[in-house]
Structure 1
Amino acid sequence: MSKHPAARPELLAPAGSPEAFFAAMEAGADAVYTGLKEFSARAKAKNVSLEELEKMVGYARPLGRKVFVTLNTLVKEGELPLLVETLSALEKMAVGGVILQDLAVWRLAREHFPALELHASTQMTVHNAAGVRMLERMGFSRAVLARELSLTEIAAIRKETTIDLEHFIHGALCFSFSGQCYFSSWLGGKSGNRGRCAQPCRRRYRYRQQEGYYFSTNDLSAIDLLPELSAAGVMSFKIEGRMKSAEYVASVVGAYRKVLDAPLPQRAEALREAKELLKLSFGRLPTKGFLPGGIPTDIAIPALKGATGRFLGDVTAVKGGAVSFKTRDRIHVGDRIRIQPKTDRAGTAFTVKELLVGQRPVKVAQAGSLVTAPSTFRGVFQVGDTVFKVSSEQAFNMSEPACRRKLAHVPPAPRPARLFVALQDDLLTVRAENGAEGFERRYAVASYPASDSPLNAATLRAVFEKTGGSPFVLEDLSTGELPAVVIPPSRLKEIRRDFYADLLLAEETREKKERRHQVEAALGALLPAATPRPARERQFTVGIRDIRDVQIVNDPGIDRVLLPLTPGNLQGFYRLGRRLAGKEASLVWDLPFFLTDGQLGDYREAIRTLTQAGFTTFRLNNLGHFALFDGLSGLTLITGYRLFSLNSQALLAWRELGATEATLYIEDDRENLGAILRRDAGITPALTVYSTVALITSRIPIRNVRSDTPVVSDRGDGYRVDSRSGLSVVTPENDFSLIGRLGELHSLGCGRFTADLSHLGPFSEGGKRVLDALRRDTSVPGTSIFNYESAME
């Protein structure tokens, strides 16, 4: 593929519902992305069924548009059979591409459904050229880049790579790197990486005596930067919003279409008009994010409530389910409003079906009016709650039933037909020469000598071109030598109808059989479950932060030490080289998951220096790390839990990419862990059994917030914000621990355990308590088991 900017970048719109799909189509989107009921990172969106998806593909294809499908969640072991069936269905309907996060999707598609085009989701946190090159090796056709990159960084990636680059241009931003947030899961088991984020980042918190929305970002709006994005090498401009309404999609797609299509002399006016359109999208304050370069000062402002919508006012009275407020903007019956409490609870939205000014029912109320909006919600609202308008019926007004009816009338995908026709002894032979196997039928006919206009190829072509209600399109028709006869037109039409009906049945039967064989082969290749058996040995790894603590490896109960590969620790290695002699096999160098392109060269050189000194074991935390080990052999590569291992197919993928040990996912629960461990993927499983959990890892600085004082939620939960290596890391005050359950985990089949004490230090009082508990396998007071005993959603 070309490295040069696309002449006309693709405008890619969200389609979280059939209504949003048609809104995107009508507003001029070149492609849409949508989710199914399963495996979608927006599980709370309406999403679509496979039947609806097939109709969407059928509607878009004749228009030259594409439909991409998001399978961008982590997949549990028990969901692999459903994933196989889903991939088969998507390949059959020839979707434009599949957007994925879990390497189980990549591996199954590559092995069994090779016609699927694969796009790497932004959830994979691909953020440098090494990561994109790795995707190229793996057969991906597109990378959806992390949203934390500048135009300069994107251009550097483009210079070194060839696959398509996609980037978000509009919509909600996550405070954390996508795919690296565990906040929602920590609070209640609702994993953002499983599509069920409860958005705790949008809530209000208190730091010292100052309340604010410390983790809530404003919305991305890059409408001023489209030429620069294209010049940097981005060929697909992506709009966020699969949980947004059709009105939102219509407004935003229309705005960006206007600017993209405007001739250069009219671009300034088009921009002005587009920004007016964007006001109808009811988003948060706009920010260009990281794209201009540097650290954006407007991306997260604690003083601003993290809610979408246009502020209408505060609730002044509540009676039953009805709220009264003085509206700052015009409001219509049919508008949708959300009532947002001042606590950290989620807001409640409803469509205004009745509107009162005083006691008088109205269809529209002007700004400044004191209005009452009844709802079915009782006991939910309070005086002082905030009212936002989140959508208007004015932008797109095709109803959900109307959209579904329109989908239902989409014809099936056309099927090409190449026919051969012959006539001999009053038997008309019709053969479809489609593919390797022909399909033939013979029909008895009554023919009559022709005085003029005998049967010929043109006559037969005219008959068989009219395929009626069948999906066939006649591409070619040839004949043998035809006698000079006439066959009644009514009989030819009857033959045409019967032949196309039989041909369709035969093709569908053949396709179903082939698809079933394909699915059975994929299901048969899934690893069989075995009886749980204890791991052969227990091995303990202790994580430290500073190389000065490396002597903990002399503890007879400790097998390995996990040490961050940082410039400081590398300098310590140069100073302590002699003291580390003989400990090379016991030291695991841990790579930081976020590395800019400017850092890659230094880390590649550091890895070679360490391997030359005899160190052989490294833990990788991003897909781009694999390329740093090109040309090196005899090493032990371990995947960290940031490289998701929630099923056996992912484990097989890591093994194929060169890893010999994989850390299972930190959010996982006992049931799924047991299911994974019952399958032999040929790679050693490991588990983090003690750690502080980085609930959020972000490139966004949180100004004036220090780690010595926690940020506290309305529920009283405390979180500490630590700034390190240009990143903000938010951790809970209580640590994660499975110590006390090591015997159970060992019996399930896992024997390699990591206790990460980098935040405590192994020689601190807290570190010593954890190590003592580790030796005795007794629980550590004041810790959380995360999702271990309650299934992660």
Structure 2
Amino acid sequence: MSRPDPQLFQLLAPAGSKDALVAAVRGGADAVYIGAPGFNARMSAKSITFYDLAVLMDYAHGKGIKVFVAMNTLIKHAEIHGAVKLVAGIKKLGADAFIIQDLGLAEIISKHFEDIEMHASTQLAVHNRMGVDILAEAGFKRVILARELSYPELKIIAKGSPAELEVFCHGALCFSLSGQCLFSSFIGGHSGNRGLCTQPCRRIWRQGKRKGYLLSPRDMQLAEDIRELKKIKIASLKIEGRMRSAEYVYRTVKAYRMLIDAAEGDFPEALDEARGILSADYAREKTSCLFSGRDENIFEPEKAQCLGNRIGEVGESSADSVTIKLFEGVSGIIAGDRLRISNPAGDITRAFKVKVFTLDADRYTFAIDNADDFSKGDPVFRTAEALTDQKDIEKEVDAMYKSYTLKNRGKVVRVYQVSQDYTSLISNKWNSGKKSSPGADTLWLRFSDVKWADSLGGRKSRAVFSLTQENIHQSGDIIDRLGNETVMELPPFIGQRETQLFRNHLEKLINAGVKNWTLNNISHIGFFKEKGCSLSAGQFLYAWNAYAAAFLDDRDINSFNISWEDDFLNIRDLTGPVDAARMLIYLYGHPPVARSRILTPGYIGGDLLLENDRGDKKSKDENSFYPVAESKLTLLIAAKPVCLFSSRRKLHDLGISNFGIDLSYIPPDRKLLKTLFDSYDSDESVPGSVRFNFKSGVK
């Protein structure tokens, strides 16, 4: 059977390890994606060094397989040069494309590198056609769309698209929209936007009398929908899984290869066979997410999810070893199997690949770190069986390294120094490298409840009205009461079907003299072309480095809100090249740590969510969130406010003079507002507040 042209319908597989790359090739992938060392969204995947990249790329290209390198994280200003050096080095290795989230890196690549193909990461949260159009204009050849789109939405976005489109067809789902999740960052400073998500959504949470895996969704599977995706000319089907085993990659790629290659009349039979292969992936149960409509069973809080098949239980444990007793009738454990031990009471799991063990009758003993986290009777699961050709794969990995060494004898494979010509993009952009003296501080008050408008008149400040689908029809009333100097702020997610609603209201407001707008998604730029408005990048249209600020400035966005999760050192570094007078930092508010399209009010309600007590008082006190329904989404709002009033002088000394208080998600309360004003004036933080990453730093 002839294979479809991979230029027209590509199967893209994860290669988080050397074994997984070989497995992807054997399974029938057209292309693979590999994380760049130090700058990718799966930093906890097995480390791939620059030398490994060289070897793996040489091997894949020798098999006719394309290699895309993921640099899909936000990059701090001090890290930019290291990222640029890495891009230059990987380009020399022959990477076929780079997957990018950071707009600053995109700015540098598009203007200072020739012939580098850029793919927009799903971390850029592209969920409507305007986002595709803007990124295509910026030089991106391909856009990886948000996972939470329906088939009707995909059809609209795909029709006449100026860029290739890629969709996820299989793998893990985040409960939050990608690129808009601060959950892990808020809890422990490990940012999902930096590739270090600790997956708090997979933990046990408590809500009223409920307790379970309340935020852990099933895995996505679109095997049944391949023909529909082919019809609307989706360019690439992407399998998620750089954290997955070679066994998982091989089976998943093989199944989707079978479906893509099947002739129309043979598809039902191919689907039955593919389902059989996919059912043995030891992963979570499956869902089509929102592709075919809402799945009311996408969350199953009573199930631990993704633990695999239960094969036995812990017999005994010590500090450095654990003994497992298998259930009767279970096939024995062999080298190459993957096991997971669970401690349900402590919400602890440990996964490992079997290498060495001792066997006594039906009892297997393994050496693992901190084995005393587990007790007699704790369940044990098999998450993957060893591939029958595992040893053959290992031999092939060894052979690829030997082959590369022979072909490149005497050559040094490393990242070389790179010209800093790219710094011209920012060297004279704002203030010729000179810090401006800060002026008098301006206080900005952001709110989404129109009732707050009655309380804002007693203090000299600037108003920011945060628009939602629920309150946008009241925006005219806000202008009548507070004036057309009020800033209107757009929400980070405006679905394809809602773009016309927002466009109509925006036109009315602009015609009424509203010229000040805050944007929170790359797609929002499309609303304001040739409108003559003053535009600001919101907290979710990230400018973590001066080059991202330059990218936005080139598109008439000339001021920047500091992200909720950013830290003082990076803010300090930004105020060198970027005019600090153009920055606004919110010193108080309850940040939305997650924004979900699959978490519904009917499922999650509005009661406070509390992390299961792990014996850590700090996490018990701070890790609580309340769900809020907004714009057909569910947001998780931090119960404890972030407050940086005590750092205002420190920020002022950097040249920053625009400071905000965010009243969103707070019921109107004049007494509270007076307390906040008093604390702001005295530079004293509010009792019971937290500082997010400001002092400790975002990882």
Q: What TM-score does the superposition give when structure 1 sets the normalisation length?
A: 0.81
User: Which of structure 1's runs of 4+ aligned residues deviate more than 6 A?
Assistant: 4-7
| SS across alignment from 1:695 | strand
Q: 1:338·1:347 contact (CA, 8 Å) conserved in 2?
A: yes
Q: Give the aligned partner of residue 241 of structure 1.
A: 241
Q: Give the aligned partner of residue 88 of structure 1.
A: 88
Summarize the alignment of residues 615-764 of structure 1 with structure 2, pairs less than 5 Å apart.
615-633=514-532, 635-680=533-578, 684-702=582-600, 703-715=602-614, 716=620, 717-764=623-670
- Taking structure 1 as reference, are residues 402 and 738 closer, same or farther at Cα in structure 2, changes over 3 Å only? farther
In 2, the alpha carbon distance for the partners of 1:135 and 1:396 equals: 43
Q: Give the aligned partner of residue 261 of structure 1.
A: 261
Q: 2:204·2:347 contact (CA, 8 Å) conserved in 1?
A: no
Q: 1:57·1:67 contact (CA, 8 Å) conserved in 2?
A: yes
AA aligned to 2:333 is: H
Which 10-residue stretch deviates more, 378-387 or 536-545? 378-387
Q: 2:467 aligns with which of 565, 587, 604?
A: 565
Are 1:604 and 2:605 an aligned pair?
Answer: no
Q: Give the aligned partner of residue 485 of structure 1.
A: none
The one-character-per-residue Cα deviations of 1:275-322 (angstroms, maximum 9, x if unpaired) are: 2222332211111111112x2112212122133422334435445622
In 2, the alpha carbon distance for the partners of 1:288 and 1:690 equals: 39
Q: 1:548 aligns with which of 439, 451, 473?
A: 451
Shift of 1:343: 4.1
Structure 1 vs Structure 2: percent identity of aligned residues? 30
Shift of 1:137: 0.9
Are 1:349 and 2:327 an aligned pair?
Answer: no
Q: 2:262·2:270 contact (CA, 8 Å) conserved in 1?
A: yes
AA aligned to 1:791 is: G
Q: 1:678·1:749 contact (CA, 8 Å) conserved in 2?
A: no
Q: Give the aligned partner of residue 311 of structure 2.
A: 312
Shift of 1:700: 1.4
Q: Give the aligned partner of residue 787 of structure 1.
A: 693
| SS across alignment from 2:41 | coil
Q: 1:532·1:747 contact (CA, 8 Å) conserved in 2?
A: no
Q: 2:364 aligns with which of 362, 372, 377?
A: 372
Q: 2:22·2:397 contact (CA, 8 Å) conserved in 1?
A: no
Shift of 1:669: 1.4
Q: Give the aligned partner of residue 220 of structure 1.
A: 220
**RMSD of aligned alpha carbons:** 2.9
Q: 1:218·1:299 contact (CA, 8 Å) conserved in 2?
A: yes
Q: 2:476·2:509 contact (CA, 8 Å) conserved in 1?
A: no
Shift of 1:233: 2.9
In 2, the alpha carbon distance for the partners of 1:396 and 1:768 equals: 70
**Structure with bigger RCO (C-alpha 8 Å, 6+ apart):** 2
In 1, the alpha carbon distance for the partners of 2:420 and 2:475 equals: 53
Q: Give the aligned partner of residue 408 of structure 1.
A: 401
In 2, the alpha carbon distance for the partners of 1:38 and 1:734 equals: 32
Shift of 1:684: 0.9
In 2, the alpha carbon distance for the partners of 1:470 and 1:376 equals: 39
AA aligned to 2:467 is: L
- Taking structure 1 as reference, are residues 683 and 653 closer, same or farther at Cα in structure 2, changes over 3 Å only? farther
Q: 1:355·1:371 contact (CA, 8 Å) conserved in 2?
A: no
The one-character-per-residue Cα deviations of 1:132-182 (angstroms, maximum 9, x if unpaired) are: 111111111000000010111001001152211000011111000011111
Shift of 1:59: 2.3
Q: Give the aligned partner of residue 498 of structure 1.
A: none
Shift of 1:642: 0.6
In 2, the alpha carbon distance for the partners of 1:751 and 1:698 equals: 33
Which has the greater radius of gyration?
Answer: 1
The one-character-per-residue Cα deviations of 1:498-532 (angstroms, maximum 9, x if unpaired) are: xxx9xx99xx99xx9xx86x623235656499686
AA aligned to 2:334 is: V
Summarize the alignment of residues 153-232 of structure 1 with structure 2, pairs less than 5 Å apart.
153-232=153-232
In 2, the alpha carbon distance for the partners of 1:678 and 1:158 equals: 41
Summarize the alignment of residues 394-473 of structure 1 with structure 2, pairs less than 5 Å apart.
394=387, 396-398=389-391, 402-410=395-403
AA aligned to 1:562 is: V
| SS across alignment from 2:684 | coil
| SS across alignment from 1:281 | coil
Which 10-residue stretch deviates more, 347-356 or 101-110? 347-356
AA aligned to 2:593 is: L
- Taking structure 1 as reference, are residues 317 and 567 closer, same or farther at Cα in structure 2, changes over 3 Å only? closer
Q: Give the aligned partner of residue 683 of structure 2.
A: 777
- Taking structure 1 as reference, are residues 568 and 526 closer, same or farther at Cα in structure 2, changes over 3 Å only? closer
Q: 2:341 aligns with which of 339, 342, 358?
A: 339
Shift of 1:333: 1.6
| SS across alignment from 1:611 | helix
- Taking structure 1 as reference, are residues 63 and 785 closer, same or farther at Cα in structure 2, changes over 3 Å only? same
In 2, the alpha carbon distance for the partners of 1:7 and 1:263 equals: 18
Q: What TM-score does the superposition give when structure 2 sets the normalisation length?
A: 0.91
| SS across alignment from 2:37 | coil
AA aligned to 2:387 is: Q
Shift of 1:371: 3.9
In 1, the alpha carbon distance for the partners of 2:477 and 2:516 equals: 20
The one-character-per-residue Cα deviations of 1:705-752 (angstroms, maximum 9, x if unpaired) are: 332444443243422112222111112221111111111111122211
- Taking structure 1 as reference, are residues 6 and 547 closer, same or farther at Cα in structure 2, changes over 3 Å only? farther
Please, which runs of 5 or more residues in structure 2 have no aligned partner? 615-619
In 2, the alpha carbon distance for the partners of 1:719 and 1:568 equals: 22
In 2, the alpha carbon distance for the partners of 1:606 and 1:6 equals: 43
AA aligned to 2:650 is: E
AA aligned to 1:565 is: L
In 1, the alpha carbon distance for the partners of 2:174 and 2:265 equals: 36
Q: Give the aligned partner of residue 617 of structure 2.
A: none
Q: 1:660·1:683 contact (CA, 8 Å) conserved in 2?
A: no
Q: Give the aligned partner of residue 382 of structure 1.
A: 375
| SS across alignment from 1:745 | helix
Shift of 1:214: 0.8
Q: Give the aligned partner of residue 419 of structure 1.
A: none
| SS across alignment from 1:41 | coil
In 2, the alpha carbon distance for the partners of 1:699 and 1:746 equals: 38
Shift of 1:649: 0.9
In 2, the alpha carbon distance for the partners of 1:708 and 1:534 equals: 47
Please, which runs of 5 or more residues in structure 1 have no aligned partner? 361-369, 413-468, 472-500
| SS across alignment from 2:367 | coil
| SS across alignment from 1:657 | coil
Q: 1:52·1:407 contact (CA, 8 Å) conserved in 2?
A: no
AA aligned to 1:11 is: L
Shift of 1:208: 1.3
- Taking structure 1 as reference, are residues 396 and 236 closer, same or farther at Cα in structure 2, changes over 3 Å only? farther
Are 1:522 and 2:422 an aligned pair?
Answer: yes
Shift of 1:400: 8.1
AA aligned to 1:776 is: S
The one-character-per-residue Cα deviations of 1:318-372 (angstroms, maximum 9, x if unpaired) are: 4562233443743422112111221464411233346677x32xxxxxxxxx643
Q: Give the aligned partner of residue 494 of structure 2.
A: 595
